Structure 1
């Protein structure tokens, strides 16, 4: 049951019970990470690692690597797996560093954060130190198999023909099956930055970047963020809610083009942009990074994009991430230069014989969309690692998982999408106004109360009927009343939707509560995005897999726009009543 700690939101009751046992052990282990500088018990000697052979070699230490390890060890209990990375940290989850970690007290000491997806807290690291063996002890493991971890060692080349992975220190590791889970990184800004100002420019790729950025932003009153992707917008809204000495932090977000123009049609942007600005984020559009000129003005950074300029204390670059493909290029593996330098794989995530790649560093052929796709999202990292592991152990299966996109833009506003998200495709946009949403929820509550009252009445009548105290006429009237209530409830569960554009005056008088965008290609649904309503993606995935036609989309819209069960975060009471 140790592996259930990472995928806990699929079985939250199980995680709730397990965490009571694991919390003290993991907390002590993580605190020891900060106190120890070398982690000598789980890393090889600095002089070099002697050559040895492993059954499964996983290069990388992110969610993709851990997901693959978990799958292999579960399906092949006798397997021996080595995770090798140039990082100094145990395998951990990167995505919480973008938002959750900033709202958690003492995160740098406990590595514990409040998850947005479940009521209980989670730990950043997947497993404690004791979970991994030393690499030299892996070969001598018993018939039940084991997993080992090699830290602070970087691979320089892969030889697929000889099944050999070479380290930079000259040593090598021979493998039977190998997985490249190299991840991605933020590219360097294409502008010249004075040496005296470089310390004020940051990225957020790993835990070291988080610690450095936390120190720099401790007394920061104005932060500039460069990027127009979902992660940049989420980070901007997160920072706008942080107070320094009871003064709200100013946040400026610069976009190279229109705000979120790569995800949403213009009509949705016209509604969403003011909502983001209400949270305290100033948005500057058409700020080309290539035109950026950096200078020092009275101790502050001055960013001049030509048409727009502003001053700030620190800058965080969140440009579209590129794949860590140096190892693939040094090994003469095929990369896609037109797609963020990702590693090219087939539909089974295979690169060469017994060599696979997964996560945000790959460009995989998707059989459902019949095109090559790459994604930098946590859901894809986890699921592609699982799929690669299945193919590595011989259960050949093409990667048909639909890509999932999500980001939080505040308490009641978030981006949740699945499939092909491209505003250049044909789109259908649906809005749900706040008054209509509240009316539907109140109607549903009233109907539920009426139904419960009527059911209680029918149960009481049934008891009297069995006792022989009710006439046949009264029995018929009771059954007819219950039938009429069921018919009325069924009619109210089929609301209609319209794609007509609302007048601006109507939007101001009746604010929009949620929005759904449906992307159409060749007459069928290929992607869905919801804003303001979480937990609807299982419906969207069903629409895409069933290839719902464009004229039938309206039947699913009321389900996509439901907000009653998605506004608030789950609580402990919800967990007790899940099953």
Structure 2
């Protein structure tokens, strides 16, 4: 496959901007154009719900410093929204009516927060968290609020709860699930997170449905639950997940997957359309390690897929093999998660002390390590990665007792 003269990247987040930077670092000398709807220069998302929301920093982690893109002849255009891809003519049309021709195209359009399908969901004071501006606005709202209601007990919801408590707001978290993070971690490990937040003053309303967000044009007043309970609130954060931004791909005729709604790509992040690739949140990637499609919305996936797809854009044909990875920091708990578990069916093995919140959790599937999560335990990260990547076969007893290095 010959090297293209012009590569267009739609999406200026970590996957798209990271791919552009990697192209130059691999010595690509052709034209690189990055189109992004945001006006800020490219930044990473994790600090938005962590350090920035907590007030520990006023800036995100930038993908590259301010001078990098012009210095490396990368045409980065912020505030430009792509509206159509014409495959046959090989161009991207933007909202201003400008056409941007490409030899190869990367779609890295990311995700948007899901909306709450109840009355009052659009009232002033109802917020989501996805962008730098939304994080700064939410932090200021937390500082001023007496009472915060967070709808959704996933990673964003629980991290935001920790931040709101740091800003001395009363916090109630509502979710239909019986435990926070239950789908990702299963009951036993999810209970650790529930108890952690309870100890820090968070009130839980679990197993609860939302009927309405109450208020008027002057702002939100509260949340009404399915049982009629009224939760007063100055701020309501909706954190019920994210949806991939696939409208551009869909209108271009690219295949979307029924299971996760992402853009279908092969092991090398290529779509079925000639010279069109997808990476990051939108990519439903056929993962050779798992033998199935995987769509991951975490930071490491965007970073690593963006860097990887750069090589394939300029002629390589390498499969993307990395295991999913994410991390969280909540109060005095920090953890890293590697792999892809199904807590409903995988066997949980705990090494350490759940009550002390110092442990490593493993998930076994057919006697092999499908995932591992270290909580406030910082030794052995390489060994955990190797156990997950290698789908190492091991007994539960040895996972609890043996030296990790001996298991790899």
Structure 2-normalised TM-score? 0.89
Asked if residue 183 in structure 1 is aligned to residue 110 in structure 2, the reply is: yes
Counting only pairs closer than 5 Å after superposition, residues 108-507 of structure 1 correspond to structure 2 as 111=59, 123-124=61-62, 126-128=64-66, 130-133=67-70, 146-193=73-120, 198-242=123-167, 248-259=168-179, 260-288=181-209, 291-296=210-215, 301-307=221-227, 308-339=229-260, 341-351=261-271, 352-411=273-332, 413-433=333-353
Question: Alpha carbons of 1:151 and 1:158: their partners in 2 closer, same or farther (altered >3 Å)?
Answer: same
Deviation at 1:559, TM superposition (A): 5.9
Question: Alpha carbons of 1:79 and 1:428: their partners in 2 closer, same or farther (altered >3 Å)?
Answer: same
Query: What's the secondary structure of 2:284's corresponding residue?
Result: strand
Question: Alpha carbons of 1:93 and 1:546: their partners in 2 closer, same or farther (altered >3 Å)?
Answer: closer
Question: Alpha carbons of 1:380 and 1:194: their partners in 2 closer, same or farther (altered >3 Å)?
Answer: closer
Query: What's the secondary structure of 1:92's corresponding residue?
Result: coil
- Say if 1:416 and 1:529, in contact at 8 Å, map to a contact too: yes
Looking at secondary structure, tell me which structure has more helix per residue: 1
- Say if 1:79 and 1:146, in contact at 8 Å, map to a contact too: no
Deviation at 1:295, TM superposition (A): 2.1
Query: What's the secondary structure of 2:222's corresponding residue?
Result: strand
Partner of residue 368 from structure 2, selected from 499, 504, 524:
524
**Equivalents in 2 of 1:354, 1:299: separation in Å?**
48
Q: Which has the larger radius of gyration?
A: 1
Asked if residue 98 in structure 1 is aligned to residue 23 in structure 2, the reply is: no
- Say if 1:287 and 1:305, in contact at 8 Å, map to a contact too: yes
**Equivalents in 1 of 2:196, 2:401: separation in Å?**
22
Deviation at 1:337, TM superposition (A): 4.1
**Equivalents in 1 of 2:391, 2:121: separation in Å?**
53
Counting only pairs closer than 5 Å after superposition, residues 42-57 of structure 1 correspond to structure 2 as 55-57=6-8
**Equivalents in 2 of 1:310, 1:92: separation in Å?**
35
Question: Alpha carbons of 1:225 and 1:534: their partners in 2 closer, same or farther (altered >3 Å)?
Answer: farther
Question: Alpha carbons of 1:306 and 1:322: their partners in 2 closer, same or farther (altered >3 Å)?
Answer: same
Deviation at 1:98, TM superposition (A): 0.9
**Equivalents in 2 of 1:276, 1:105: separation in Å?**
20
**Equivalents in 2 of 1:287, 1:272: separation in Å?**
18
**Structure 2 gaps, min length 5:** none
Alpha carbon RMSD of aligned pairs, Å?
2.6
**Alignment correspondent of 2:391:** 547
Query: What's the secondary structure of 2:363's corresponding residue?
Result: strand
**Structure 1 gaps, min length 5:** 1-52, 114-122, 134-143, 243-247, 434-506, 561-579
Partner of residue 18 from structure 2, selected from 64, 67, 77:
67
- Say if 2:5 and 2:30, in contact at 8 Å, map to a contact too: no
- Say if 1:366 and 1:372, in contact at 8 Å, map to a contact too: yes
Query: What's the secondary structure of 1:88's corresponding residue?
Result: coil
Partner of residue 78 from structure 1, selected from 26, 29, 33:
29
Query: What's the secondary structure of 1:525's corresponding residue?
Result: strand
Deviation at 1:415, TM superposition (A): 3.1
- Say if 2:126 and 2:220, in contact at 8 Å, map to a contact too: no
Deviation at 1:194, TM superposition (A): 7.4
- Say if 1:335 and 1:342, in contact at 8 Å, map to a contact too: yes
Query: What's the secondary structure of 1:364's corresponding residue?
Result: strand
Deviation at 1:417, TM superposition (A): 0.9
**Equivalents in 1 of 2:249, 2:73: separation in Å?**
27
Question: Alpha carbons of 1:321 and 1:558: their partners in 2 closer, same or farther (altered >3 Å)?
Answer: farther
**Equivalents in 2 of 1:106, 1:173: separation in Å?**
37
- Say if 2:287 and 2:321, in contact at 8 Å, map to a contact too: yes
**Equivalents in 2 of 1:299, 1:389: separation in Å?**
46
Question: Alpha carbons of 1:528 and 1:71: their partners in 2 closer, same or farther (altered >3 Å)?
Answer: same
Question: Alpha carbons of 1:544 and 1:106: their partners in 2 closer, same or farther (altered >3 Å)?
Answer: closer
Asked if residue 512 in structure 1 is aligned to residue 356 in structure 2, the reply is: yes
- Say if 1:418 and 1:529, in contact at 8 Å, map to a contact too: yes
- Say if 1:80 and 1:145, in contact at 8 Å, map to a contact too: no
Query: What's the secondary structure of 2:391's corresponding residue?
Result: coil
Count of residues paired in the alignment: 398
**Alignment correspondent of 1:484:** none
Deviation at 1:173, TM superposition (A): 0.9
Greater displacement, 225-234 / 528-537: 528-537
Query: What's the secondary structure of 1:292's corresponding residue?
Result: strand
**Equivalents in 1 of 2:386, 2:342: separation in Å?**
19
Q: Per-residue CA shift, 1:507-563, capped at 9, x if unaligned?
A: 8xxx42413221122221111122222464422221123332241662576667xxx
